[in-house]
Amino acid sequence: MKIMKLTALFLTLILLASLLAACADNPLKAASGTYVGQYTKMVGDDTKEEEEFSLILKEDGTGIHSRGGEEYKITWTLTGEDFTMQETFLGLTNDYTGTLKDGALHLFNGDPANIWTYEYVYSKKQ
């Protein structure tokens, strides 16, 4: 009887530890929130463009990208600091890649080595 109680207690502790680890390892939850656009520019040009844009990231990997007076539905993932996003509007999609580190999000809407690619820089709203 004592062995059964110890076994039940041991299994309960393992289950609790697993649940706590699962909650702590949710990068989407930690990254979710509102991001405010700081600036955008073409990779091949240092001129920063004045444009209002923002990004709402939801814990379920969806969100809204607002820019140019339009709202675009998005899906997003985060692996370490590597951020990917797919934007959909009127059946068309745009792919973005970038990094998210310390509340700063840098996105590219194409190949970052291409001078015609746009870079978007955001900061997380507190």
Residues whose CB falls within 8 Å of the CB of residue 98, separated by 6 or more in sequence, listed in order: 83, 84, 85, 105, 106, 107, 108, 120
pLDDT value for 28 = 85
Choose which CATH entry (3.40.710.10, 3.40.50.980, 3.30.950.10, 2.40.128.20) describes domain 32-124: 2.40.128.20
- Above 70 in pLDDT, residue 49? yes
pLDDT at site 66:
95
Delimit the domains of the chain by residue range: 1-27, 32-124
Provide mean pLDDT across the span 16-43. Answer: 76
Query: Structure pTM?
Result: 0.76
Mean pLDDT of 40-69: 93
